[in-house]
């Protein structure tokens, strides 16, 4: 199956400049391409990305004022991919699958670019990658020993990332427990029917306090001033840190769950409905439901297990996992005290046990 990886690059200042140049050219290309496309369309033509590329190569690249487009060490593949991306965005738009392509703003991120080596496979593995034309760059994380055909390099909050896809054969399932119910929580990340609880990391709460403080400081600064922009970068970095801590905890939980259980029963959460409930919105968004489910789905494929969705509105929280009695359970009630058989257990654990039963 096709797996993909996105990981942070460990760059020196010279490499950062080089990446910014590439991203800048990709942005210049797609903005120019978009403007040309719109102009041609107004004149009654039906442009496509191949036409734009030819136009760009023959007329724009030959302009002596735009010498920096062809500077040494700049991979010329990036403009090709920028046009291809634009063409795909238009295709999606015409099929009604996406919004009208927009001009890329520089304010949020330096952007991204994609490069390849003419379709030839490129080996990766360990903590270095040889990017076409650019050369060797380091990564923080060790990469699997495999090969790919293209890389996308992108920037967020001052950090650079590389992403790529690769083929991997499905491993034989190494399953210990046949079936498990998973209750995705607000107070805790997840509770599974064996009784294991995956907690929200404490570090994240500390960072959230810091984030609130930094945001307050930002609101006091003059918009657009140097101090404002510096503070904005600080806020973006903290946002990223909060996000990373949560993502890391989610990854650990979903790996453990999908690696060790053959069948995983989860609630089919009406997350959108919960999101519209204001009181819950913050907590639910935070609890990362969508991401948790997404990870479970792809990791279960990787480890040879299976994710089963409970039918919508299955009352996993309101049902007694011991006797089947159904009773009202407001969100504030953390313990399920069965009014029928008198069993008493944690609300989330009770729910996960019911999900497990559903799978049987
Ligand atoms: Zn009961």
More confident residue, 73 or 269: 73
Ligand 1 centroid distance, CA of 344 (Å): 8
Ligand 1 centroid distance, CA of 184 (Å): 22
The range of the structural domain enclosing residue 101 comes to 2-167
Position 127 in a domain: yes
Q: What is the pLDDT of residues 116-136, one digit of tens each?
A: 877 788 888 888 899 888 889
331, 191: one domain: yes
Q: What is the mean pLDDT of residues 49-58?
A: 81
Q: What is the pLDDT of residues 209-223, one digit of tens each?
A: 898 999 999 999 998
211, 102: one domain: no
Task: Report how many domains make up the chain.
Answer: 2
Ligand 1 centroid distance, CA of 189 (Å): 25
Write down the pTM of the prediction. 0.54
Ligand 1 centroid distance, CA of 321 (Å): 7
Position 172 in a domain: no
Ligand 1 centroid distance, CA of 223 (Å): 59
Ligand 1 centroid distance, CA of 324 (Å): 6
Ligand 1 centroid distance, CA of 319 (Å): 8
Ligand 1 centroid distance, CA of 261 (Å): 27
Ligand 1 centroid distance, CA of 340 (Å): 5
Ligand 1 centroid distance, CA of 323 (Å): 4
Q: What is the pLDDT of residues 83-100, one digit of tens each?
A: 888 888 888 888 877 778
Residue 270 has pLDDT above 70, yes or no: no
Ligand 1 centroid distance, CA of 136 (Å): 62
Ligand 1 centroid distance, CA of 262 (Å): 28
Ligand 1 centroid distance, CA of 349 (Å): 14
3-state secondary structure the chain: CEEEEEEEEECCHHHHHHHHHHHHHHHHHHHHHHHHHHHHHHCCCCCCHHHHHHHHHHHHCCCHHHHHHHCCCCCCHHHHHHHHHHHHHHHHHHCCCCCCCCCCCCCCCCCEEEEECCCCCEEEEEEEEEECCCEEEEEEEEEEEEEECEEEEEEECCEEEEEEEEECCCCCCCCCEEEEEEEECCCCCEEECCCCEECCCHHHHHHHHHHHHHHHHHHHCCCCCHHHHHHHHHHHHHHHHHHHHHHHHHHHHHHHHHHHEEEEEECCCCHHHHHCCHHHHHHHHHHCHHHHHHHHHHHHHHHCCEEEECCCCCCCCCECCCCCCECCCCCCCCEEECCCCCCEEEHHHHHHHHHHHHHC
131, 211: one domain: no
Look at residues 123, 143, 167 and tell me which one is the last residue of a structural domain. Answer: 167
151, 190: one domain: no
231, 345: one domain: yes
């Amino acid at each position: 199956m096709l797996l993909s990886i996105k990981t942070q690059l460990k760059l020196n200042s010279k490499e950062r400049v080089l990446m910014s140049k590439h991203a800048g050219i990709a942005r210049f290309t797609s903005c120019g391409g978009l403007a040309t496309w719109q102009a041609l369309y107004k004149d009654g033509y039906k442009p496509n990305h191949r036409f734009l590329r030819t136009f760009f190569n023959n007329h724009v690249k030959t302009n002596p004022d735009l010498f920096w487009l062809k500077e040494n060490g700049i991979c010329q593949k990036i403009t090709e991919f920028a046009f291809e991306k634009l063409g795909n965005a238009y295709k999606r738009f015409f099929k009604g699958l996406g919004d009208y392509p927009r001009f890329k703003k520089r304010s949020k991120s330096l952007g991204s670019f994609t490069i390849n080596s003419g379709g030839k496979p490129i080996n990766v593995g360990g903590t270095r990658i040889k990017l076409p034309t650019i050369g060797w760059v380091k990564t923080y994380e060790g990469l699997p020993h495999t090969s790919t055909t293209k890389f996308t390099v992108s920037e967020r909050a001052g950090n650079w990332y590389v992403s790529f896809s690769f083929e991997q054969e499905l491993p034989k399932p190494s399953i210990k427990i046949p079936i498990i119910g998973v209750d995705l929580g607000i107070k805790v990340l997840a509770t599974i029917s064996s009784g294991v609880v995956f907690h929200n990391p404490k570090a994240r709460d500390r960072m959230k306090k810091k984030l609130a403080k930094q945001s307050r400081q930002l609101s006091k600064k003059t918009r657009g001033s140097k101090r404002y922009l510096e503070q904005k970068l600080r806020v973006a970095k903290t946002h990223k840190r909060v996000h990373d801590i949560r993502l890391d905890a989610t990854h650990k939980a979903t790996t453990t769950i999908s690696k060790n259980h053959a069948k995983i029963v989860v609630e089919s959460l009406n997350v959108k409905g919960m999101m519209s409930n204001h009181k819950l919105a913050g907590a639910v968004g935070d609890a990362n439901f969508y991401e948790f489910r997404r990870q479970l789905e792809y990791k279960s494929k990787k480890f040879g297990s299976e994710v089963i969705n409970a039918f919508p509105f299955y009352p996993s929280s309101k049902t007694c996992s011991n006797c089947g009695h159904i009773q009202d359970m407001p969100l504030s009630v953390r313990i399920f005290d069965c009014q029928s058989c008198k069993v008493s257990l944690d609300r989330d654990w009770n729910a996960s046990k019911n999900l497990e039963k559903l799978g049987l």
